[in-house]
Amino acid sequence: MSLAIFDLDNTLIADDSDYLWGQFLVEQNIVDKDAYESANARFYQDYKQGQLNILEFLRFSLKPLSEHEPTQLYRWREQFVREKIHPILLKPARDLIEKHKARGDTLMVITATNRFVTEPIVKLYGIDHLLATTPEFVDGHYTGGFTGVPCFQEGKVSLLEDWLKTSDENLQASWFYSDSHNDLPLLKRVENPVAVDPDAILKDHALQANWPVISLRNRHCPTHHFKK
C-alpha cells in the first residue's frame, strides 16, 4: 500500500475547473462579463506560463463567494458540476484510480483550485482525501479570503507535509500524477512522479528525468506505469 496523489485540472479532468467556474459565472451573469472574463483569461495564461501571482488570483477568484448567500452559491455549483464538469470526466482516469484502489493504495487529490469548486468533483471520482486552497468561511458566509497556505507550487508540498504529520501515511513508494510544471516541487518529492498529458515544460523535464509520460485522453498512449 502507498499514497497515490493526483492533480485535478487537466489531469483527472479534461480542462481547468478554476477557469471553467469563472466562465460559468460570466455565462450566468453573476459577474461583470467584460472585466471578469478578461481577468480570468489573463490569470489562466499566467498559470500556464508559470507566472501566476497566487495571492492576486485568489483575491480575484474568491471575491464572488463573498457576494452571495451560501445556499445560492451551492445551487450554482451544482449546476456548474452538472453542465461543465460531467462532460470532461475521463474514463481512463477512473480506470487508473480503480487500479490504485485495487492495490490498496490511499488516494488523494491535491489541487490549487479552491475547495469550494473542487470538493464535489473529487467526490465524483470516489477519492476521500483532498488538499486544496481553502476559502475562509466566517459566521455562515464566505469572506472572499482564504485560510492557511495556498495549495500552489511549494504550497502543495507544505500542505502535504502537514497532512502526513497527522496521518499514518508516508511518501515511501508514493505516486503523484500531474500535467503541470507548476507541480514540479511535489513531483520531485514522491518516489513515482508521472507526467500526465503534460505541458511542454513538464514533458521536457520528465523525459530528461526518465519519468513516465502517460495520457488519460489518448487511447493510443499508456494510461498507467506501475513498477514491478
CATH of the domain at 165: 3.40.50.1000
User: Per the residue annotation, which of 7, 16, 183, 199 is the catalytic one?
Assistant: 7
Q: Are residues 210 and 126 in the same domain?
A: yes
Domain that holds residue 77: 17-86
Same domain, 22 and 122: no
pLDDT at 223: 54
In a domain, 140, yes or no: yes
DSSP 111-134: ESS-HHHHHHHHHHTT--EEEE-E
- Strand extents, DSSP E, 63-206: 106-111, 129-132, 134-138, 141-147, 175-178, 192-196
Evaluate whether 185 touches 154 at the Cβ level (below 8 Å): yes
Domain for residue 55, yes or no? Answer: yes
Last residue of a domain, one of 86, 102, 130: 86
- Are residues 99 and 206 both part of a single domain? yes
28 belongs to a structural domain: yes
User: Cell 477519492, residue?
Assistant: 127
Q: Cell numbers of 208, please?
A: 530528461
Domain count, the chain: 2
Q: Are residues 104 and 197 in the same domain?
A: yes
Residue 220 domain-assigned (yes or no): no
pLDDT at 1: 86
Residue closest to 144 by CA, chosen among 65, 56, 31? 65
Residue partners of 133: CB distance under 8 A and separation at least 6: 58, 112, 113, 114, 115, 146, 150, 151, 152
What is the structure's pLDDT at 228?
35
Residues 73 and 131 grouped into a single domain: no
179 to each of 127, 189, 197, how far by Cα in Å?
A: 19, 16, 6
Question: 70 and 172: one domain?
Answer: no
Measured distance CA(104)–CA(92) in Å, rounded: 19
- Is 9 catalytic? The answer is yes
Per-residue confidence in pLDDT tens, the chain, 228 aa: 899 999 999 999 999 999 999 999 999 999 998 889 899 889 989 988 989 999 999 999 999 999 999 999 999 999 999 999 999 999 999 999 999 999 999 999 999 999 999 999 999 999 999 999 999 999 999 999 999 999 999 999 999 999 999 999 999 999 999 999 999 999 999 999 999 999 999 999 999 999 999 999 975 555 555 553
* Active-site choice (9, 16, 18, 199): 9
